[in-house]
Amino acid sequence: MAYAGVDLLLTGDRQWKVIEINDHPVALAQSRRLCSSDAALECFRQDPFQLLAEQLERHDGGGAVALLLPECFELARGHRSPSQIRLREALKFDDNRVDLTISDFNELSRAIIARGREARICDAAHLRIQHRELYLDGEIVRSLFRRHSGFPRQRVDCFCLNDLRQRALCGDKLATHREIVARLGDVASIPTFPFEPSERTLGFLDDCACRGILVIVKPKWGSASVGVTRMDAGLALQHLATHQHERKDLICQPWIAPAVARVHERNFHFDVRLYVVAGRVVSGFARRAAAPSTGAASESPLAWLTTTGPRMTLCSSVDALTDSSSSPHAILSTDEIAAMTHLAADATLALSDAGVEMNYESAVETIPAFHSLADMQPEYQMLQIVEA
């Protein structure tokens, strides 16, 4: 897997665990801005878009690099694969993932052009496969940056960043967990079970109930914490007993309290998003909850869900002492930074190896249709894109 976003949890006893690995990560441009701080980690000092562009350039055969948008984006009529894009109309709903996606595509396109190559942003309607060759508006493409969950559904003689098999693996949180555990051991991942009345799941929930451990229930396929709930394990057992035939696409995990960052004399739970390019951690930030971990809102998702608040710069305990900025940081020790980056790189490699071993056609058949995913909103009929 040439490019991944790895989400990691630092437990209260300062051990790292993989939350999930995303083959369609967003917010790289935002991460680069956060990493411009003097206190940011040394390993984040290179431009991640240049590193991505370098990977794509290696395979482009001297032709254009195609940057394929997600399914909910389409080029407005008359616009043919521009190098910079914007929304045709302002959004009528609040979802910063749209702006983050457009920003990432534009920044990657600039990085490719800066290397003397041509970059063309497109939707799937502008691509065609014939005899395993990929064509963009009639021209052969040898290098494809893909954010589309269903293309190409057949093998093509083109470098894809990433291979569509990674979507089948990374999108399925249960499959991700199994591969991480099989290749890196139990300690690397949060225990994960299908939310169903099976013997293993019921045993897990019963043990959590006896020990007073809360559990997380969330979609097996999903993103941006949509559909994530925290509940008492006893309530989860009761739910399985009375709603056995409802949804079959949920998983459950123990809720492990994340480490806290000190911001304005208050503690906030946080976790970490790291970006990995060609096996190297190149950028990242901390994600913190919107509300403090103690106080009136401590039981609210605003306090325990780390995706509800702002992003923070990751820095070492040494650099934090000399940093003069007033921006909040998540401060890590030298050993924690080393363990964090090693786990992110190892987990990405583990899933990359697992994806290569999968049969292409069988794997892509398991990917749900984009508009059937749990986080899909009615407003996402199709977002019209025009040249910027």
Write a three-state SS string for the chain: CCEEEEEEEEECCCCEEEEEEECCCCCHHHHHHHCCCCCECHHHCCCHHHHHHHHHHCCCCCCCEEEECCCCEEECCCCCCCCCEEECCCCCCCCHHHHHHHHHHHHHHHHHHHCCCCEEEECHHHEEEECCEEEECCEEECEEEECCCCCCCCCCCCEEECCHHHHHHHCCHHHHHHHHHHHHCHHHECCCEECCCCHHHHHHHHHHHHHCCEEEEEECCCCCCCCCEEEEHHHHHHHHHHCCCCCCCEEEEECCCECEEEECCEEEEEEEEEEEECCEEEEEEEEECCCCCCCCCCCCHHHHCCCCCCEEEEEEHHHHHHCCCCCCEEEECHHHHHHHHHHHHHHHHHHHHHHHCCCHHHHHHCCCCHHHCCCCCCCCCCEEEEEC
Q: How many CA atoms lie within 13 A of 227 on its CB side?
A: 17
pLDDT given at position 379: 54
Residues 331, 316 contacting (CB under 8 angstroms): yes
Give bridge partners of residue 213 from the DSSP assignment: none
Asked if residue 342 has pLDDT above 90, the reply is yes
Q: What percent of the chain has pLDDT over 90?
A: 79
pLDDT confidence band for 78 (50 / 70 / 90): confident
What digits encode the pLDDT tens for the residues 229-264? Answer: 999 999 999 999 887 656 678 999 999 999 999 998
Looking at the whole model, is its pTM more than 0.85?
yes
- Mean per-residue pLDDT of the chain: 91
pLDDT given at position 378: 53
> Quick one: average pLDDT of 181-197?
96
pLDDT given at position 141: 97
Phi, psi of 163 (to 5 degrees): -55, 135
> Quick one: average pLDDT of 195-222?
95
Give the list of residues 6+ apart from residue 29 with CB closer than 8 angstroms, or none.
Answer: 49, 100, 103, 104, 107
What digits encode the pLDDT tens for the residues 263-320? Answer: 989 999 999 999 999 999 999 999 999 999 999 999 999 999 999 999 999 999 866 5
